[in-house]
Structure 1
Amino acid sequence: MQTHTLAWRGYEIAVQPEQNEFGAWRAKVSVRKGSETSIEFRPETVQPEWLTEAEAVRDGFEWGRRFIRQKIEAPADAL
């Protein structure tokens, strides 16, 4: 599958949509900054499967932005 990328706040969010055996779409998401090692995860949502590839990509980008805000940037904001 094609990997979709988005540059956001100095990070690169990469989303790779995957179709399961039932035809539903899910996204594998990775986040990296520059040459740092990427952090890869699969979003666990209330509705983790989508009817279209485009919906899975959009959801993956949303999860990537949320991950950056809450897991990467938030600890620095707490100082």
Structure 2
Amino acid sequence: MQRHVFEHRGYEIAVQPEQNAYGAWQAKVSVRHADSSVAEFRLETIQPEWLTQAEAVRDGIEWGTRFIDHKLEESHNPM
């Protein structure tokens, strides 16, 4: 399957849609800072399943942008 890469606030979101054994689509997502080779991955314990590949990609992008926004908010507002 095609890997989709997006940029958000200096981070790269990579989404790899995959079909499971039941035919549903899920997104494997990794996020890394543009200056780093280290990526953080979306946990695969519970993921939504989608009817189409496009829905899985959209979900992965949305998850990645929320993750980045939350991470940046935490770094600017430490407790």
* Partner Cα separation in structure 1 for residue 65 and residue 53 of structure 2: 19
CA contact (8 A) 1:19 1:25 kept: yes
> Residue by residue, what CA displacement relative to the aligned partner does 1:43-65 show, whole Å, maximum 9, x if unpaired?
645xx000000000000000000
Percentage of identical aligned residues: 55
In structure 1, the partner of 2:74 is 75
How much has 1:42 moved relative to structure 2?
3.9
User: SS in structure 2 opposite 1:18?
Assistant: strand
TM-score normalised by length of structure 1? 0.87
* Structure 2 unaligned spans of 5+: none
Aligned length: 76
Runs of 4+ in structure 1 displaced over 3 angstroms? Answer: 42-45
How much has 1:76 moved relative to structure 2?
1.4
* Partner Cα separation in structure 2 for residue 29 and residue 69 of structure 1: 15
1:1-79 alignment to 2 at 5 Å? 1-36=1-36, 37-42=38-43, 44=46, 48-70=48-70, 72-79=71-78
Aligned residue type for 2:75:
A
* Structure 1 unaligned spans of 5+: none
TM-score normalised by length of structure 2? 0.87
CA RMSD of aligned residues (A): 1.4
